[in-house]
A and B are shown apart, each in its own frame.
Chain A
Amino acid sequence: MALSKNVLVIVVVALIVIAAAAFYLTQTGPAAGGTVKVGLIAPLTGGLAEHGLDMKQAAILAVDEINKQGGILGKKVELVIEDTECNPTKATAAVQRLLTQENVYAVFGEYCSTVTLAVQPSIMEAKRLLFVPVSVATKITEQGYKYTFRTCANQRMQTTQNADWVVEHLKPKTAAMLGVNDDYGREGLKIWGDRAKSKGVKIVAEEYFDKGSTDFTSQLSKIKAANPDVIFVVANIRDAANILRQAHEIGLYKQFVMLGGVTSDEFLQLADDDALGLVHVSYFEPTSKRPAAAEFVKKFRERWGRSPAMYAAGVWDAFLAFKLGVEKAGTWDVDKVADAIRSLKFEGAQGTIYFDEKGQAQTKVLLVQVQKVGGELKRVILYPPSDKQGEYIPPEKLYGG
């Protein structure tokens, strides 16, 4: 009896010591050692794996570059990578591991907005930094968390800038809109439509299609009858390719404009010549001549032997913001670092980057047009002037009358 009581006391004491040690370790964070750990969450397997790969390669490259330059405030950066498969449940478990076992100072990610929104509260509660390089849902930075920073344009910004460019440069009198019948499509059409209407453009048709549709002739036929000057479309690459092909099939050769989701070489393969003339948003083009962008592309190519996609640029800029923010604060105190990042202004791969009060980077998105360059379909940058590669070609010139 006495013996077992002693054992019990020892066990309890041991547990208290371990708990206290764990508490001490989690509280003091990076000050405890010569390295600072950061986590990356991305879809590395499953249907989005190709985009996850871009994020992973950019993160590895960025960390190596930082360490080559002597780390941050004398500390080496160590990267811990977790796969989420774009699944909120998996991502939540991965983030818990990053926060409690790996004790990371900052988390970078994710691709899917639903995943970012799912893991955001626990990271904020643990008072760690969250850098969002890819997810575009407007809500992520609208909630006003102190430790959240997004290094890419959000849905509202890219849709508004798209509408502004279209109104200013194409000067349409009327516009039609076509979108997928879910929150993404409906939000996109509302923002674009409101913006265009406020600038005097008349919306003559607003059509929707359900997820999984392959035939868009009903919608396009109505749009054709309404005879708009431009057609704004919110769709994934598969639907976008079908929409353009079927529009041309029924003789609808007006100017189509789309969002950043179609920025991929797979889309150009799928849509083929029907993509010709399409104007859409891109956050980043590897062909950009701007020095900060060219430097990033050169390093990425040297390391991985391939061209980075736009998601890689978002991750690269997030690590830049992290490094510059800590250095400006001169301390690892998370509140001071968050304040320092808010006062940064730097040249990133995507352009000049600075953050608003809510942690949203104020970046300019690129407007590109699909044109034939040397017999091949290429995205040619039309805007902004600092990146401009070519002139806009109206559909009448591309397709004849």
Chain B
Amino acid sequence: MELLEQILFGLMIGGIYGVIGVGLTMIFGVMRLSNFAHGEFYMLGAYFTYTFVTLIGGDPFILAPLAAIAVGAVGIAINRLLFKSLYEELKEVKGAAAFYFQDLKFIMLTIGLSILFVDLALVLWGPIPISIPSPLTKHIVKLPGGLSFSLARLIAFVVAIATLVGLYAFLKFTKTGRAIRATAQNPSAAMLVGVNIYKIYDITMFLSTGLAALAGGILGPIYNVYPTMGLDVVAKAFVVVITGGMGNVIGSILAGFLIGLAESLGGLFLGTEYKQVVAFVIMIIVLWVRPEGILGGGRK
């Protein structure tokens, strides 16, 4: 029974890792930038949800998608104001030099954004953790054999799965999805066949930051909300992305579940003090055996 419980909770957390990781891997795959501020969009999603709950009233699980759209708009704004000029400046630079030059600038920029957002949250919402009340967190689902979890956790898991399936269908079957995949494969070629890559970047930023914010919004009521909550998940998100294969959406989803499950079982069999270590050991093993990640290697 203990094993079953651990597997259950491991998979539920894995779904959330998947949602956060997928956003990060999309930005990496399509825009070729490592977004170190990704965790802060997760944090903003939680605080926006809290603010909507206090302003409008209603259940956080209904308002979380609204917060995700709002944070997605912030993502687009950042893309237009900060990233676009960098991309335009770099358009003329060719080859490997362009990649390194570009990546370094973006790394510094996104680290700066991360610090800015954390401080902004400190000023706007204060340092004391906040809980977002929802009747769903108090409603406990009881299964036979003593297994139980809150309805909120179940909803979070269902939303995570639905979002991941929806995203996959969007990328696979829609015209915009195809354009996004084309841009990920080769931006210059995509431009030649008439894809407006700056618009694709806008859409990618919206999806990526919105997904992170959605995760924050649905986890806010389950855990608590505090300014540095994004910093606590971003390292795990990078582990998921690297393990799954950088830029690979399906890989990130699989890696999310793999790491969620491995942490739970690692905690059970090795001792909970090694829980955090397990995720990184898996990443190192994957990088050793398959440096491109579980599903890495070009496919998007």
Contact = CB atoms under 8 A, between A and B. Distances in A.
Contacts of A237: 129
B52 interface: no
A250 B149 contact: yes
B114 interface: no
Interface stretch (B21-29, B192-200, B267-275): B267-275
B223 A249 contact: no
A209 B10 CA distance: 15
A142 B271 CA distance: 33
Nearest to B133: A272
A272 B137 CA distance: 12
B9 A270 contact: no
Given A210-B276, A238-B224, A251-B148, A47 B263 contact: no
B264 interface: yes
A355 interface: no
A218 B9 contact: yes
Interface string B110-145: 000000000000000001111101000100101000
Report, as a range, how many residues of chain A touch the other chain: 20 to 34
Contacts of B181: none
B223 A214 contact: yes
Interface string A256-274: 0000000000100110100
Interface in A250-296: 250-251, 266, 269-270, 272
B13 interface: yes
B146 interface: yes
B128 A266 contact: yes
Contact of B149 (A214, A225, A238, A249): A249
A376 interface: no
B275 A209 contact: yes
B273 A225 contact: no
B148 A222 contact: no
B127 A47 contact: yes
B2 interface: yes
B148 to A, nearest CB: 5
B231 A221 contact: no
A209 B272 contact: yes
A377 to B, nearest CB: 13
B146 A221 contact: no
B268 to A, nearest CB: 7
Given A208-B273, A250-B149, A218 B268 contact: yes
A212 B5 CA distance: 23
A207 B274 CA distance: 10
B272 A242 contact: no
Interface string A204-226: 00011110111101110110110
Contacts, number: 87
Interface string B256-286: 0000000110011001110110000000000
- Max chain A C-beta neighbours (<10 A), residue from B130, B131, B137, B264: B131
Contacts of A248: 140
A259 to B, nearest CB: 18
A218 B223 contact: no
B140 A219 contact: no
A344 to B, nearest CB: 37
A241 B275 contact: no
Contact of B275 (A50, A210, A251, A266): A210
A225 B264 contact: no
Given A212-B231, A270-B131, A181 B273 contact: yes
A268 to B, nearest CB: 11
Contact of B272 (A47, A208, A225, A269): A208
Given A209-B275, A218-B267, A241 B127 contact: no
Contact of B129 (A209, A213, A225, A270): A270
B207 interface: no
B208 interface: no
A284 to B, nearest CB: 21
Given A209-B275, A238-B226, A270-B129, A221 B150 contact: no
Given A249-B140, A269-B131, A270-B131, A215 B223 contact: yes
16 contacts: A208-B272, A214-B219, A218-B268, A221-B5, A221-B9, A222-B2, A222-B272, A238-B129, A238-B224, A241-B129, A249-B150, A250-B5, A250-B148, A251-B140, A266-B128, A270-B129
Counting from the closest, the 5 A-B pairs by CB-CB distance are A218-B267, A212-B232, A208-B273, A214-B223, A225-B2
Interface of A: 47, 50, 181, 207-210, 212-215, 217-219, 221-222, 224-225, 237-238, 241-242, 245, 248-251, 266, 269-270, 272
Given A208-B271, A270-B130, 14 more contacts: A50-B128, A207-B272, A210-B275, A210-B276, A213-B232, A213-B276, A215-B223, A218-B275, A238-B226, A242-B224, A249-B140, A249-B149, A249-B153, A270-B129
